[in-house]
Structure 1
Amino acid sequence: MSNPTYFATLGDVVGNAFDYIICGGGAAGLTLAARLSEDPQVSVLVLDAGRANLDDPAILVPAQYYRQVFDERYDWSFTTVPQKHCNNKSFMWARGKSLGGSSAMNFFVYSRPAAEDIDAWEELGNPGWNWSNHLKYMKRSEKFTPPSPIQTEVFRQTYEPEYHGDKGELQVGFPILITDYEVPFQEAFNSLGVPTAKEPLGGNNYGTGMAANTIDPTTKTRSYAVTAYYLPNKERTNLKVLLGAHVNKLVFKSPVKDDLLTAEGVEFSCEGGVHVVQANREVILSAGGIKSPQILELSGIGDPAVLTPLGIDCVVPLPGVGNGVQEHVICPVSFELHHKDGGYNTLDILRNPAVAEAEMKRFEKQEGIHTLGLSNFTFASLQQTSHAAQDLIDAVSLKLDRDHTEGRISDALWDQYKIQLRVLRSEKSVDLEWMILPTIGTRGTVPEDGKAYLTIVIGLNHPFSRGSIHIASTDPQQQPLCDPHYLENDFDMQLLVEGFKFARKLTETEALKSIIAGEIDPGSEAQTEEQIRAHIIDELSTTFHTCGACSMLPREKGGVVDPALKVYGTTNVRVVDLSIVPLHIAAHTQATVYGIAEQAADLILGKI
């Protein structure tokens, strides 16, 4: 399928030089490209391995969750290595391969972290990376549509204008259709002591409420990096986007000057050949949490213990590359709903092909199930939701302190753990998350026609386990070894167990008794700690928020980039994507990625 004429051809790129070369056209890459190319005297090239996939219903129409997964037109389809603490299972890591990256295939959820999550980045040695700045840059990208009167009155959705942008590119608002059980779930959480969040996008996301979605209020379709940042600027003569261009490695000048390397270009594969394009100023990696560390290692930047056995000359010894990986994990618990005349607003109706076809036609009129968004999200603390919280926190604190004293935990990791432990001790922290999925979300039961289901998904926001992403070959087309070390730190499992128990308590409240007929996965027979743990391992999944492999930290603490996002040991290579996040956040990550890219643009342009 040919691309529109405003995309670059290989001939537009080969033999030419560009001021900035951005490797990856995802949320961060396209945001940067738009900002840097605002100056008509500056030339910008984006190299992206994917397809355009413009005007594609699989991308644009809400409620198409998982439709793109495992389809090579949209998904990189990474997999992890077998996980020792999960019965040696491998896990699927879906990542967007279309132009727009994962912003083209995420679940539309727009959430922001707690202020303390971002302030922790600055505490770890990154001046300027704090909540105040991050909020400013998230607002810059945002064009917010306030909730409608019915959403405010019926669904209790409130907001505070000072936390929102109205001139940005990314459309942020609330879905038209809300599930029948939005209010009952809020009431259930309230009855167990979790309040309704007044403004979850303002730095305090503690509580329950409706999540914002990245849906255009006019078209009711996905707003993402392509529609927000690329298409409005596609006619700029100084901005080129080359699709089907797989970045292999960076090309450095020789000899080395002042012990620092300068990238002079990028090697990439396209249309069956290998090519090099020259960079006049900078090369920026925005290839995402998995591909950016891979490109660095293929370029000779990383741990000699990884590179030397593969025959790669280590031009910048940087052991932090590919390490410090953190990932959000989730566990679903599914329930059958009581029969209700007229049915429920759940995705279960789409199992009927005739209904599915009819609903797509209804969407053309901006109505029906495809205007349904993921709505109820709740963030709360272990302290608030578990009677065992203090004993669990005391035990993990003692263990980690002992491990550090005896040398099993580095000083750098101990700095991170101290922050995590401090947060855990707060009654208003947001270590745990509960999401409501309007369908069956477990693998153990085949749904029955005519029945409706919902799934409570328990999420772990601040994992203690740390993993790695490293190359296993000099072949750029081969997937790296993704090893998140899921549940290696047993406290991660303990948090999920307590979150699971709290999910069950919710369904026993008066607010939900009239809606939920019964638990189907794992079922009421799973009562012991051992049975609950077995269910968690069986159903464990991820929200695809991999961070940390190119951490923004001091070099001596395992850092890969400095606070200007420049790779240590280089003069002009930066990383701008989720991989730079040194300590994970309690949020779904697209708002943060846009904010990182907006701040990076100002750093690159010398505005801060």
Structure 2
Amino acid sequence: MQTSDFIVVGAGSAGSVVAERLSANGRFSVLVLEAGGSDRRFYVQMPLGYGKTFFDPAVNWNYRTEPDPGLNGNADHWPRGKLLGGSSSINAMVWIRGAAEDYDAWAAAGNPGWAYADLLPLFRQFEDNEAGADQWRGRGGPLHITDNRARIHPLTQRFLKAGIEAGLTLNQDFNGAAQEGVGIYQITTRNGRRMSASRAFLRPAMKRANVRLETHALATKILFDGRRAAGVEYLRNGRAVTALAGREVIVSAGTVATPQLLQLSGIGPAGLLQRFGIPVVHASAHVGENLQDHLGINYTYKASLPTLNQILRPWWGKLLVGTQYLLLRRGPLSMSMNQGGGFFRTDPGQPRPNMQLYFQAFSTVIPRLGERPILSPDPWPGFSIGLSNCRPTSRGSITIRSPDPRDHPRIVANAYSTERDVSEMLAAVKFVRRLASMPALAGIIEAEMLPGPACLTDDELVADFRARSGTVYHPVSTCRMGPDPSRSVVDPRLKVHGLSSLRIVDASIFPDSITGNTNAAAIVTGWKGAQMILEDWQ
């Protein structure tokens, strides 16, 4: 039976960082358990290849929510990474830290050490930003961030100009002094390859003798000695394996799998556990509750100018961009589909931006089965303006549906379940149309393809976004952090309330969601969490 100082469950965005940090000084042995396999796959490493991973069970958990009344009864597809790097290996790579006010609110809720002033130095420590170091950006760290301003499609400049015409400012750095405005997204790539948490943190750690990685290792239960987490049971190659932890078990399985593992281990709502015959180790009503997610929708237009459709759809175009990528690591395949975007307020009364924009210089109205059709766009020139809400008030839950760890949990998203979320999205889609009506874009638009000009009234717009919206892949907060055990799962040092030697370090601990893409926040959570663990074991 193997014993390590620390067991890290999950080699995703946070877990990869935790493994690297805990092993860096050489004092501690670290076992990393990952349910998926290697990230050394062509379509994982090629940035625009993530369309191929969107439904691929080899690298993707392919979760589905319960049919959602807020989404017109649709069961939403939730891709989550099932490989080294986790969702950082299959995401759209946009690097957004979130607003300073997000983290300040975490600290104000009773979580000292989590204010933006506490986290900014940590971001700067691990970042290697191509745009250069300043008071906001870091340079020289393990995680490379590409500054795309010189590489964008010309249509993206029209989007920026339209945003300024609509009253937004030009923002040179969404991770700088303020978020509001339109600008170019920075992305996590390096030399034309995806810069996942695995590439930046885990693979360097794997070169150390004190790190051991087990892939295809599905954690099935946290083992306890009384109320102390003593180890982990996992399945590998069809057999059960037990690993013991001399110091701590750290769960970094993500917003979906972390509450699932806790519930399977007897930590969660007592009634739920008893229903499935799972002995209650620690009753905690909030395990799996408080689920938050950002919802998005695209408005798509037919253009009079060429877009990426004309180069990514024909065989000769695929050959051209493929050759360009293979030889030079440049071109459309080396980038994200979201080249530009921004943040805006749905009304002036909002204290700060509550909506996010995404500009895509191609369109995918005509679907293709089996993959997200990034590489098979429409046969006519088109582009899309997407948006998502940043701070939704709707809350959902994640609960086990059986005691079998191989069964996906029950995900109840409760999308658009509050009037505030509906009214904010209604105002937001109206703003997208206003943006498209600005001279910089209106002059090249031949037609609105989705939802189309027949969709006019408020009721029609609401019906449309209920039918067409879906997750933008930012679920958080199912094991949220807080000082009060009756309202949270972990304390401000990420220790599970009521138990010892057990921490959660991933996006499930967010007290509330952040303004923007969540991967940067998950990575800084890993860095901060590891820092606190090392402090406690000095």
Structure 1 Cα separation of the partners of residues 100 and 46 of structure 2 = 32
1:357 maps to 319
Structure 1 Cα separation of the partners of residues 195 and 423 of structure 2 = 37
The worse-fitting range, judged by mean Cα deviation, of 513-522 and 597-606 is 513-522
Structure 1 Cα separation of the partners of residues 11 and 86 of structure 2 = 6
Q: 1:266 aligns with which of 225, 232, 237?
A: 232
Q: 1:507 aligns with which of 428, 432, 436?
A: 436
Equivalent position amino acid for 2:353 in 1: V
1:234 maps to 206
Structure 2 Cα separation of the partners of residues 448 and 589 of structure 1 = 27
3-state SS, counterpart of residue 274 of structure 1: strand
Does the aligned pair in 2 maintain the 1:82–1:89 contact within 8 Å? yes
- The answer to whether residue 366 in structure 2 is matched with residue 366 in structure 1 is no
Whichever of the two has the greater Rg, that structure is 1
3-state SS, counterpart of residue 327 of structure 1: coil
Which whole-Å deviations, capped at 9, do the CAs of 1:153-199 have from their partners, x for residues lacking one?
xxxxxxx7111111211110223530212222122111221111243
Structure 2 Cα separation of the partners of residues 448 and 220 of structure 1 = 22
How far did 1:248 drift?
Answer: 0.3
Which whole-Å deviations, capped at 9, do the CAs of 1:383-429 have from their partners, x for residues lacking one?
24xxxxx6xxxxxxxxxxxxxxxxxxxxxxxxxxxxxxxxx3x2xx1
Equivalent position amino acid for 1:603 in 2: M
Equivalent position amino acid for 2:343 in 1: F
3-state SS, counterpart of residue 18 of structure 1: strand
3-state SS, counterpart of residue 194 of structure 2: coil
Equivalent residues in 2 for 1:108-187, closer than 5 Å = 108-146=93-131, 161-175=134-148, 177-187=151-161
TM-score normalized by the length of structure 2: 0.95
Equivalent residues in 2 for 1:179-258, closer than 5 Å = 179-202=153-176, 204-216=178-190, 219-253=191-225, 256=226
Q: 1:57 aligns with which of 27, 30, 42?
A: 42
Does the aligned pair in 1 maintain the 2:192–2:335 contact within 8 Å? no
Does the aligned pair in 2 maintain the 1:333–1:441 contact within 8 Å? no
3-state SS, counterpart of residue 178 of structure 1: coil
Structure 1 Cα separation of the partners of residues 210 and 385 of structure 2 = 48
Structure 1 Cα separation of the partners of residues 52 and 505 of structure 2 = 28
3-state SS, counterpart of residue 384 of structure 2: strand
Does the aligned pair in 2 maintain the 1:177–1:371 contact within 8 Å? no
- The answer to whether residue 472 in structure 2 is matched with residue 543 in structure 1 is yes
1:8 maps to none
- Equivalent pairs, count: 528
Distance 1:177 1:267, change over 3 A: same
**Equivalent pairs: percent with the same residue?**
30
Structure 2 Cα separation of the partners of residues 190 and 542 of structure 1 = 28
How far did 1:539 drift?
Answer: 1.0
User: Unpaired segments of 5 or more residues in structure 2?
Assistant: none
2:16 maps to 30
3-state SS, counterpart of residue 378 of structure 1: strand
Equivalent position amino acid for 1:96 in 2: G
Distance 1:199 1:276, change over 3 A: same
Structure 2 Cα separation of the partners of residues 62 and 517 of structure 1 = 30
1:156 maps to none
Equivalent position amino acid for 1:45 in 2: L
1:280 maps to 246
How far did 1:444 drift?
Answer: 8.2
What stretches of structure 1 move > 4 A for 4+ residues in a row?
Answer: 441-450
3-state SS, counterpart of residue 342 of structure 2: strand
2:257 maps to 291
Equivalent position amino acid for 1:211 in 2: Y
Equivalent position amino acid for 1:173 in 2: T
Distance 1:303 1:174, change over 3 A: same
3-state SS, counterpart of residue 594 of structure 1: helix
Equivalent position amino acid for 2:80 in 1: R
Q: 1:439 aligns with which of 351, 359, 362?
A: 362
Which whole-Å deviations, capped at 9, do the CAs of 1:405-456 have from their partners, x for residues lacking one?
xxxxxxxxxxxxxxxxxxx3x2xx1101111122224568999864211111
RMSD: 1.9
1:558 maps to 487
Structure 1 Cα separation of the partners of residues 208 and 329 of structure 2 = 32
Does the aligned pair in 1 maintain the 2:24–2:205 contact within 8 Å? no
Structure 1 Cα separation of the partners of residues 78 and 379 of structure 2 = 32
Does the aligned pair in 2 maintain the 1:551–1:581 contact within 8 Å? yes
Does the aligned pair in 1 maintain the 2:311–2:317 contact within 8 Å? yes
Q: 1:516 aligns with which of 441, 445, 450?
A: 445
Structure 2 Cα separation of the partners of residues 448 and 599 of structure 1 = 41
Structure 2 Cα separation of the partners of residues 169 and 232 of structure 1 = 9
Distance 1:16 1:372, change over 3 A: closer
The worse-fitting range, judged by mean Cα deviation, of 290-299 and 185-194 is 185-194
How far did 1:556 drift?
Answer: 4.3
Which whole-Å deviations, capped at 9, do the CAs of 1:225-249 have from their partners, x for residues lacking one?
1211122232211001110000001
Distance 1:518 1:307, change over 3 A: same
Equivalent residues in 2 for 1:421-432, closer than 5 Å = 424=350, 426=351, 429-432=352-355
Structure 2 Cα separation of the partners of residues 81 and 42 of structure 1 = 42
The worse-fitting range, judged by mean Cα deviation, of 172-181 and 130-139 is 172-181
Equivalent position amino acid for 1:191 in 2: E
2:34 maps to 48
Structure 1 Cα separation of the partners of residues 386 and 282 of structure 2 = 42
How far did 1:546 drift?
Answer: 0.6
Structure 2 Cα separation of the partners of residues 557 and 317 of structure 1 = 10
Equivalent position amino acid for 1:381 in 2: R
Structure 2 Cα separation of the partners of residues 107 and 36 of structure 1 = 28
Structure 2 Cα separation of the partners of residues 125 and 448 of structure 1 = 48
Equivalent position amino acid for 1:291 in 2: A
